[in-house]
Structure 1
Amino acid sequence: MSSPNPLEGDNVPQHILALLTRLHAESLNQEAGIAKADYDASVIHSNMKDKFIALEPDKCQFVYQLARAINAKYIVEAGTSYGVSTIYLALAVAANCRATGGVGKVVGTEHEAGKAEKARTYWEECGSIVKDIVELREGDLRKTLKEGLETVDLLLLDIWTPMALPTLELVKPKLRPGAVVIADNTIGSAAGYQDLLEYMRAPGSGFTNLTLPYNNGLEMSVYSPN
């Protein structure tokens, strides 16, 4: 028996489900043609400039379900790319706001202007349930996330690994107690994530950590400062 899709349980509109199915298929098709050498630090920027590199569907559904479980209404996503996972995050925030009131936002970051432009077209296709929730900050996130953040419920790190720890250090002062940090590919890209994982797993870091057995690993960390 296949796993149920929590978006269907929350009655997400069919046109959004169809869009996500299409985008995931395009992303997986692109990834099938990417070689390990394409991820080398000397070429990764040019090679991935026009690639989706989206979270797989099962990871996206998990993050959606997690955001719903913790009633996340303010989320930061580092590495928006074409905005696939952003759709899930925005849908979760919208559902939480409907259920418990208040307003919500997903703050996305994207360095490539072309990807940012394309992401916005997909959010427009979703309609107000997504596009009105997302605030996309273009450029170097070390600048764009430096100020203007509210209290953060969830941080998604789906970005070039050397940028993961700098992002966490920027956002950490805004994390609420009980906030969750998700980092993708922490098994497959363990070497690149070494500084982030050492930081989060160090005694007194304020984080409790668990590596989930999704493809290439998915790190789930809960912020519980003393």
Structure 2
Amino acid sequence: MPTHPCTLAEPRVSAALTRMFEAAARDDETAARLWSGPDDRESLTAQELADAAQEIYMPVSADGGRLLYNLIRAIKPANVVEFGTSYGISTLHLAAAVRDNGTGQVITTEMSRTKAASARDTFAATGLDDVITVLEGNALQTLAALRQPVDFLFLDGWKDLCLPVLQLLEPHLAPGTLVVADDVDLPSLGPYLDYVRDTANGYHGVTFPVEDGLEISCRL
């Protein structure tokens, strides 16, 4: 049994989340320093973007993280897959829920070597590294080797890759599986939203109005 009723309240975990959320609050300032506008990014590959943005946290919101924790606690999935670790804020919420459920694992992906290394250090420091596997590299390649069912899917990497990642993993999604995507307000998530909001593609969902919005879709 966990020493705390909620691992999110465990001092090492709460301290790590506080530190990272405080750093993430400077994301706009950091982004402005790194590039002047969208034109700076249009010609970059996904890997080049990841490397260029390695100082930017781009986290799920605090309320979004708590929602993810509650969903995982309620569903008790065996395999949680996350696209887009970044520095690990959302991953900690997922892993805390898995720990408190007493069963399951989190498989998360990150393209930036710098972010993946930092996230691994954080996971070890919080004592949650035993329930987290970090797949470093292009998620379309690292997740292609996945063989187990995906019981919960969280999409928070590059928005234009969310739909390809979902379609890659669809053979692993059983009916009733929840798929959650962050940042519904971003135009680049448009193709993904068009896809999951069309029931002909096998999903039924709702937009949850927290920060930039979470799209919660149920696999039909």
Common fold: TM-score over 0.5: yes
CA contact (8 A) 1:31 1:53 kept: no
Question: 1:222 is matched by which residue type in structure 2?
Answer: C
Number of equivalences: 208
Q: Identify the residue that residue 110 of structure 1 maps to in structure 2.
A: 110
Q: For residues 50 and 34 of structure 1, do their structure 2 counterparts lie closer, same or farther at Cα, with a shift above 3 Å needed?
A: closer
CA distance in 1, matches of 2:215, 2:76: 20
Which structure: greater helix fraction? 2
SS of the residue 1:181 aligns to: strand
Q: Which residue of 2 aligns with 1:221?
A: 217
Q: Relative CO higher for 1 or 2, CA cutoff 8 Å, sep ≥ 6?
A: 2
Query: After superposition, what is the alpha-carbon deviation per residue over 1:91-136, rounded to whole angstroms, capped at 9, x for unaligned?
Result: 111111x2xxxx4211110111111111011011101xx1001111
Once the two structures are superposed, what CA deviation does each residue of 1:6-50 show, in whole Å capped at 9, x if it has no partner? xx7525422211211111111112335434825853468154122
Task: Note the alpha carbon deviations across 1:138-190, whole angstroms, 9 max, x for none.
Answer: 11111100022311121111111111111001111111221111111112x0x
Hey, which bits of structure 1, 4+ residues long, moved more than 4 A?
Answer: none
State whether residues 74 and 93 of structure 1, in contact with CA within 8 Å, keep that contact through their aligned partners in structure 2: no
Matches within 5 A, 1:90-169: 90-96=95-101, 98=102, 103-127=103-127, 130-169=128-167
1:206 corresponds to 2:195: no
Q: Which moved more, 1:209-218 or 1:27-36?
A: 27-36
Post-superposition Cα deviations, 1:65-100, rounded to whole Å, max 9, x if no partner, equal: 11111112311100101111111111111111x2xx
Structure 1 residue aligned with 2:17: 20
Query: CA deviation digits over 1:49-75, x for unaligned, max 9?
Result: 221111111111111111111112311
CA contact (8 A) 2:31 2:56 kept: no
Runs of 5+ in structure 1 lacking a partner?
Answer: 1-7
Per the TM alignment, residue 220 of structure 1 is displaced from its structure 2 partner at its CA by: 0.7
C-alpha contact (below 8 Å) 2:6/2:96 kept by paired residues: no
User: Alpha carbon RMSD of aligned pairs, Å?
Assistant: 2.0
Q: For structure 2, list consecutive stretches of 5 or more residues without a partner in the other structure.
A: none
Q: Distance in 1 between matches of 2:122 and 2:65?
A: 16
Amino acid at match of 2:182: D
Partner of 1:4: none
- 2:190 pairs with one of 191, 194, 215: 194
Q: C-alpha separation between the residues in 2 aligned to 1:41 and 1:186?
A: 20
Alpha-carbon distance in 2 for matches of 1:117, 1:219: 29
Q: Using the alignment, how far apart are the partners of 1:51 and 1:33 within structure 2?
A: 7
Instruction: From the superposition, tell whether residues 149 and 80 of structure 1 become closer, same or farther in structure 2 (CA, over 3 Å).
Output: farther
The residue that corresponds to 2:93 in the other structure is 88
SS at match of 2:82: strand
Percent of aligned positions that are identical: 32
1:68 corresponds to: 73
The code of the aligned residue for 1:138 comes to E
My pick for the range that moved more, 36-45 or 169-178, is 36-45
Query: Partner residue of 1:5?
Result: none
